[in-house]
Structure 1
Amino acid sequence: MLLVLLTGMPVILLNMLLQSWVSIGCIRFYIKRFHQREGMFAGVLALFGIIIIVLMGNLLQILLWGMLFLWLGEFSTLKEAVYHSGVNFATLGYGDIVMSPQWKLLGPLEAVNGALMIGLSGASMLAVLQHHIRKQIGQIK
């Protein structure tokens, strides 16, 4: 179990770093391109841009876990490793593909990581939406 934690924690830390970078990138994207714009269309474009950014960040995190699984020899192809990673990261838990007993605990570890990172992605989108709504009703200049 300690080996699983020592193997999974660096990936979790890298994902946290990547998600932090993505979250700050979302804020910078919004401020640079949409902070001064008003109207529904500007809000839709801003939110759409933020969704694309966080989606790419989450997909990169899934790829990172998949590459770990491939490196550990759990899967023979990157496609299979990324599929399994996506199922874990999104906490779907299909169970159609399982890892060896030695590395099986990486699945729940990735699921916890995914739940936290997807939650932070949602928070980034909500922050932009709330700011835009407040601006529209005149609370922010």
Structure 2
Amino acid sequence: MSMAHVASGFLMESPAPWRADWLWGCPLIVITVIIHVLGLGLISQRSLRISQNIMERRHRTPAFAVVMGATTLVLTLMHGIETSIWAVAYYVIGALPDPKAAMLYSFGAMTTYGHQNLFLEDRWRLLGPIEALNGWLLFGLSTAFLFWMIQEVSPGNRTVH
């Protein structure tokens, strides 16, 4: 059997098997990535300004620690907000029975940890991996941003903006 036959059989087996999952998942990914990118822009502006003011007073290492600590905290809160958006969606569509279960499941899916005994309703099962894909994107952006911030506000960097 050719690869085309296998693929067409898989896609034609049931009409649009996961259409609703993608119709919910893709906008959630777009919304959370936009929130994340706007948040990163705001963090970078504030962090660089604060860092420059503190470093002008020759307190480079404490300034670096404060800026990186605050940046990490704000990024963590942003990830929590973005995860909450998914949790609300799970609860609203009836994929999970209550807000607490939705939040716990969402954190598991976003971080790809996923070791809870919580499962989405059968018709929404693909949303978990879609959220995990979103987590990869968001954590990748955060990692790149933290690496950039380290370079920008590092005590050894004489060109702080």
The alpha carbon displacement at 1:32 in A equals 2.2
Moved over 4 A (4+): none
Q: Does 1:90 align with 2:107?
A: no
TM-superposition CA deviations, 1:12-43 (whole Å, max 9, x none): 11101111111101201212211243311000
Q: How many residues align?
A: 139
Q: Give the Cα–Cα distance (whole angstroms) in 2 for the partners of residues 76 and 95 of structure 1.
A: 15
Match of 1:62 in 2: 83
Q: Give the Cα–Cα distance (whole angstroms) in 2 for the partners of residues 25 and 66 of structure 1.
A: 25
Amino acid corresponding to residue 136 of structure 1 in structure 2: G
Q: Give the Cα–Cα distance (whole angstroms) in 2 for the partners of residues 97 and 137 of structure 1.
A: 47
Q: Give the Cα–Cα distance (whole angstroms) in 2 for the partners of residues 35 and 84 of structure 1.
A: 40
> Where does the alignment leave 5 or more consecutive residues of structure 1 unmatched?
none
TM-score of the superposed pair, with normalisation by structure 1: 0.91
Q: Does 1:136 align with 2:156?
A: yes
8 Å CA contact 2:151, 2:157 repeated in 1 = no
Q: Give the Cα–Cα distance (whole angstroms) in 2 for the partners of residues 132 and 49 of structure 1.
A: 13
Amino acid corresponding to residue 66 of structure 1 in structure 2: A
The structure number with the bigger radius of gyration is 2
Q: Does 1:12 align with 2:33?
A: no
TM-score of the superposed pair, with normalisation by structure 2: 0.81
